[in-house]
Amino acid sequence: MTDQSFRIALLTYSTKLRGSVVHTLELAEALHAIGHTVCVFALDKDGLGFDRSLSCDVKLITAKSSPDGIDALIQQRIQEFVAFFSQSSDRYDCYHAQDCIGANALSMLRFHQHIPQYVRTVHHIEDYNSPYLQQCQERSIRDPDLCLCVSTRWQTELQQHYQLHAPRVINGVNTQRFSAKLDGLEQSLKEQLGLHGKPLYLTVGGIEPRKNSIALLQAFSQILVDHPHAQLVIAGGATLFDYQAYRSEFFAQVDEMDMITGKNLLLPGVIPDETLPALYRLADAFVFPSVKEGWGLVVLEAIASGIPVITAKQPPFTEFLTEHQALLVDPNSPAAIAQAMRSILIPDLAHALVQNSQAILPHYAWDASARLHLVHYDELLKREGEGVGSGE
């Protein structure tokens, strides 16, 4: 790896801490700690910025009230990035987008020669019904000078469907933030959210199709038969998409099950960054039967927090988890999810899963991820210097 210090611009579509946004911030901090000049550029809808302080530079780009319709919203968000960078005199060695919005903006900026090249990390590939969104996704994958990805699953998908080799860069977990060590916030958070149930199951990511929320709800309804005081906490949920039809079906099933929101089912929304580690520690188990994930940062956060995990028996989870480290289930079977939720209450099993899973943590450090990125940045910049970049 080169000893050269790079100037790196990292773009993210939101200030709300979801997977790719967390990846952006942790990568930025790790690159900054190594000695590179890093600035995070983020679309900021509510003017509040990030719910954490950063040591690297941050520039917030105002994301204005959006018109009706997701196509118009995405188009506007892309243009907000384009307008900002078109007017900026700052220059960076490497421009790197973590999502479709940033990548489309960088594609336009490169076309108009405002930037020399750009990188995009593919976290996962969506199945869009909208032709416009599908075109945006295609462009965001095919146009970059370099595509990276975070798992073998998506590396294979990109090779098979796009004939594109995307080097794999690992995700990480911040074990200074997420650990089994109590920080004194647990009791107040427990009272604030009403976490008095036993057992307490946690998932993070909100209610949406790829999180498999309805199957999890159906599984939890089976748990309530034997454990009427159990609670399911579905935290998070900040997203560009409202998934209204899916959410309506979810709540229709809640009503049919006579489940009480606020008692058995808790939906606290986005958890403040400061208290998220404590929320993990309050849970008896983390249940994440997602059917489509880039990698699953929250799974590693749960493991680092010292709680047992249930997740889907499919990639990318099976790339880094064995059946001795988590209960791996068929995500399409609520009965299988429910059985795992019962089994994980067995103390000896839960203890073994927690102990065995700790061996994963040293392999997924943000410093190691940053150094992998630097290798690829260096190679790209050398190609550019030799005049063999991909061009428009």
Tell me, yes or no, whether 135 and 243 share the same domain.
no
DSSP 66-131: PPSSHHHHHHHHHHHHHHHHHH-----SEEEESSHHHHHHHHHHHHTTSSS--EEEE------SSH
Tell me, yes or no, whether 157 and 207 share the same domain.
no
Predicted pLDDT at 238: 64
CA distance 280 to 278: 5
Closest CA to 360 of 305, 294, 287, 291: 305
Predicted pLDDT at 260: 87
Predicted pLDDT at 243: 82
CA dihedral 39, 42, 48, 53 (to 10 degrees): -30
Tell me, yes or no, whether 138 and 225 share the same domain.
no
Contacts of 333 by beta carbon, 8 Å cutoff, 6+ apart = 215
Tell me, yes or no, whether 165 and 251 share the same domain.
no
CA distance 80 to 342: 48
Query: Could you give phi then psi for residue 69, rounded to 5 degrees?
Result: 100, 135
From first to last of its 392 residues, the chain has per-residue pLDDT tens of 456 899 999 999 999 888 899 999 999 999 999 999 999 999 999 899 998 899 999 999 999 987 778 899 999 999 999 999 999 999 999 999 999 999 999 999 999 999 999 999 999 998 888 999 999 999 999 999 999 999 999 999 999 999 999 999 999 999 999 999 999 999 999 999 999 999 999 999 999 999 999 999 999 999 999 999 999 999 987 666 668 899 999 999 999 998 989 999 999 998 999 999 999 999 999 999 999 998 999 999 999 999 999 999 999 999 999 999 999 999 999 999 999 999 999 999 999 999 999 999 999 999 999 999 999 999 999 988 776 544 43
pTM above 0.85, yes or no: yes
Tell me, yes or no, whether 140 and 204 share the same domain.
no
Tell me, yes or no, whether 117 and 195 share the same domain.
no
Predicted pLDDT at 240: 61
Q: Give ∠ CA 98-100-106 in degrees, rounded to 5.
A: 80
Closest CA to 15 of 52, 63, 49: 49
For residue 254, give both structure tokens: 């809640």
Which H or E element spans position 24? Answer: helix 19-34
Predicted pLDDT at 384: 81
Q: How many domains does the chain have?
A: 2
Tell me, yes or no, whether 190 and 166 share the same domain.
no
Tell me, yes or no, whether 200 and 282 share the same domain.
yes
CB atoms within 10 A of CB 235: 21
Tell me, yes or no, whether 18 and 155 share the same domain.
yes
119 near 376, Cβ under 8 Å?
Answer: yes
Residue 391 resides in a domain: no
Query: Could you give phi then psi for residue 299, rounded to 5 degrees?
Result: -65, -45
Closest CA to 217 of 228, 204, 233, 229: 233
Closest CA to 267 of 237, 289, 288: 237
Q: Sign of dihedral through CA atoms 320, 326, 330, 332?
A: negative
User: Which CATH number is 246's domain given?
Assistant: 3.40.50.2000
Predicted pLDDT at 244: 85
Residue 2 resides in a domain: no
Residue 224 resides in a domain: yes
Residue 180 resides in a domain: no
Amino acid at 344: I
Tell me, yes or no, whether 191 and 250 share the same domain.
yes
CA distance 336 to 307: 20
Which H or E element spans position 253? Answer: helix 244-256
Tell me, yes or no, whether 374 and 274 share the same domain.
no
Tell me, yes or no, whether 216 and 352 share the same domain.
yes
Residue 1 resides in a domain: no
CA distance 50 to 48: 7
Residue 178 resides in a domain: no
Residue 179 resides in a domain: no
Amino acid at 323: E
Its domain, for residue 131, covers 7-172+365-385
